[in-house]
């Protein structure tokens, strides 16, 4: 089937343009821009709403295997489609972890339940225990797009060096979580007056700086490809800048929660605001928004982390960290757009184009020949977030009952409509 999207406001992260236009799609790929509708094509009137590349959400946690009651591929896929996410980059922190070709094959087969594209990262060490490197070559050949132990830091520097050295030989990407584990152990808030007043175990932002500096020193020594999953404090930016100036192959990401929330949102010990790393000061949040605008931070993601009610209904420091985000990433990002800090092409560069380029995917573009993975949305549509209307099995969103803007009208994967 041929599709022709007309009357659209095209958001192009490659060229940085935001302008009226049209797209023609045939056989799952974009075949033309700003052309007349071909004979026999199904015409979709976008009515002036935004048409952009589908979001590539890097760092999604799925509960299969081991925690299917929290999230399945089917439920996460529905949430992704409803949120304009066309590709999920899934984390390996399952029970047991994805640390062998067999376990990777299992989750690849389970991902068939999702209506969106799914790519998988594999663990960096066996069992994510930080003691022995995985069979990286076999996992790379089996389809792993990157290697990470998630929020577990490989504290054995000798082992981390071996992993980076081996990854360089494969051309594989290592994803690190910049934290000094001894300093950050048990912390649930950022060190400061607020954490002290509330009596929450805290950690200095310097733990992130120290962790990043160690990883970057090892990258300089080995020449490996490296991505820092979350840079959340201004103090870490100089080290990142020096690494890039030295020609190191490094990129960095941040969660949408750290861009739109700060330490004061914890309020009355609301555990939906418990994250790893913890929410930062408003000064750090603003610095991170500017870092995205300046290109110092490459990727914005939801870091979708479903937790059941029992995991969250605990004292703040004991509650499981993380929040669902597949369905809230786009409207949360619209906060940044409406505040005037980031325009739409820049946001979609960070949410779609940059993760695609870093992971070697063809998605993230609306150029001729690109996959027709698209999201049509209204950036101005207001609504009040109701967590019980989310498609995810778990409902742990910090945006519950918040006034938001930005509704997804339709989502397409390879030209096939999967939502709307």
Condensed to tens digits (0 to 9), the pLDDT of residues 149-179 reads 999 999 999 999 999 999 999 999 999 999 9
pLDDT at residue 230, rounded to an integer = 97
Is residue 18 in a domain? Answer: no
The answer to the question of residue 152 being in a domain is yes
Q: Cα–Cα distance between 188 and 190 in angstroms, integer?
A: 7
Determine, yes or no, domain membership for 155: yes
Please indicate, yes or no, if residue 224 is contained in any of the structural domains: yes
Its domain, for residue 196, covers 54-364+393-404
The number of beta carbons lying within 10 Å of the beta carbon of residue 2 is 16
Q: Does 418 fall in a domain?
A: no
- pTM score above 0.75: yes
Does any domain span residue 2?
Answer: no
Q: What's residue 268's pLDDT?
A: 84
Compute the residue count for the chain.
420
Instruction: Let me know if residue 278 belongs to a domain.
Output: yes
| Mean pLDDT, the chain cut into blocks of 10 residues (420 residues total) | 96 98 97 95 97 98 97 98 98 98 98 98 98 98 98 97 98 97 94 90 96 98 98 98 98 98 91 96 97 98 97 94 98 96 96 98 97 98 97 97 97 97
Q: How far apart are CA 167 and CA 277, in angstroms?
A: 26
Q: Which of 328, 272, 278 has the alpha carbon at shortest distance from 79?
A: 328
Supply the CATH number for residue 121's domain.
3.20.20.140
266-294 pLDDT, tens digit each: 988 999 999 999 999 999 999 999 999 99
Q: How far is CA 199 from CA 190, 192, 196, 255, in A?
A: 12, 11, 5, 25
Domain count, the chain: 1
Instruction: Give a yes or no: residue 327 inside a domain.
Output: yes
- Residue 295 tokens, joined: 């290109």
């Amino acid at each position: 089937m041929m599709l022709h999207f007309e009357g659209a406001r095209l958001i192009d992260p490659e060229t940085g343009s935001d302008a009226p236009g049209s797209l023609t799609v045939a056989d799952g790929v974009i075949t033309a821009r700003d052309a007349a509708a071909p004979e026999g094509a199904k015409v979709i009137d976008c009515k002036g709403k935004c048409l952009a590349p589908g979001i590539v959400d890097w760092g999604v946690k799925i509960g299969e295997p081991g925690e299917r009651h929290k999230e399945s591929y089917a439920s996460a896929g529905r949430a992704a489609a409803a949120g304009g996410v066309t590709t999920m980059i899934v984390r390996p922190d399952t029970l047991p972890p994805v640390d062998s070709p067999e376990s990777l094959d299992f989750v690849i087969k389970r991902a068939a339940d999702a209506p969106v594209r799914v790519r998988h990262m594999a663990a960096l060490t066996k069992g994510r225990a930080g003691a022995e490197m995985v069979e990286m070559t076999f996992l790379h050949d089996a389809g792993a797009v990157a290697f990470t132990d998630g929020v577990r830091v490989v504290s054995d520097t000798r082992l981390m060096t071996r992993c980076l050295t081996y990854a360089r030989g494969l051309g594989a990407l290592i994803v690190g979580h910049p934290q000094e584990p001894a300093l950050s152990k048990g912390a649930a808030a950022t060190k400061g007056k607020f954490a002290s007043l509330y009596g929450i175990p805290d950690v200095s932002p310097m733990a992130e700086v120290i962790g990043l500096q160690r990883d970057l020193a090892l990258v300089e020594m080995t020449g490996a490809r490296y991505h820092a999953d979350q840079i959340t404090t201004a103090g870490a930016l100089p080290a990142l800048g020096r690494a890039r100036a030295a020609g190191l192959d490094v990129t960095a990401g941040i969660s949408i929660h750290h861009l739109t929330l700060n330490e004061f949102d914890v309020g009355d010990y609301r555990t939906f605001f418990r994250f790893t790393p913890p929410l930062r000061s408003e000064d750090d949040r603003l610095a991170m928004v500017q870092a995205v605008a300046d290109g110092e931070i490459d990727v914005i993601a939801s870091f979708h982390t479903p937790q059941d009610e029992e995991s969250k209904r605990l004292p703040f420091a004991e509650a499981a960290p993380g929040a669902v985000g597949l369905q809230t990433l786009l409207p949360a990002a619209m906060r940044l757009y409406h505040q005037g800090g980031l325009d739409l092409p820049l946001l979609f560069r960070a949410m779609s184009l940059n993760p695609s380029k870093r992971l070697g995917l063809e998605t993230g573009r609306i150029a001729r020949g690109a996959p027709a993975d698209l999201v049509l949305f209204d950036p101005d549509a207001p609504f009040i977030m109701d967590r019980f209307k989310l498609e995810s099995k778990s409902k742990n969103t910090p945006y519950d009952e918040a006034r938001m803007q930005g509704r997804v009208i339709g989502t397409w994967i390879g030209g096939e409509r999967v939502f709307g």
